[in-house]
Amino acid sequence: MAVIAPTKVFYGFSTLDTNSKQQSFADVALINRDIMNHFNTLPGERVMMPLYGCNIWNLLFEPFDDALVQAVIAEATRIVNSETRVVLQDMIVKEFNQGLLVQITLLYQPYGVINSFTVEFDRRAVALDAVG
């Protein structure tokens, strides 16, 4: 009986890290890259898609309280739910000295794989963009 190698379901190309030798991505790595692009884009930055992007960057200088945590969870959930290839399993929001961490656990539907990753929202990055 022949063993058939699994084929790539999703295949894409990224220009984010042009110094990296790996420019093409497939499957779970591609889905993660797509989700991270959404988190790292401000609303209005994407041409012809004014609603695409993440509003969490606008919340970084607000006091860390229950209202902020709920707002971050709502925004992160909106972004994850816009990605049809995953199902949100769990989300935790934490504060660190320079910003917020959002730990997300996802079920990658076509594969039945559960994976976690962290999105870091760093106040220093926002401050540097404001300066120049």
- Please compute, for residue 62, the number of CA atoms within 13 A of its CA located in the half-sphere on the CB side: 15
pTM value? Answer: 0.80
Residue 1 belongs to a domain:
no
- Which CATH number characterizes residue 112's domain? 3.10.450.40
Residue 13 belongs to a domain:
no
**Cα 10 to Cα 111: distance, rounded to the nearest angstrom:** 11
Residue 70 belongs to a domain:
yes
Average pLDDT for runs of 10 along the chain of length 132? 51 53 69 90 90 94 96 98 96 94 94 93 74 47
Residue 72 belongs to a domain:
yes
Residue position matching structure tokens 């945590």: 69
Residues of the domain holding 67: 22-131
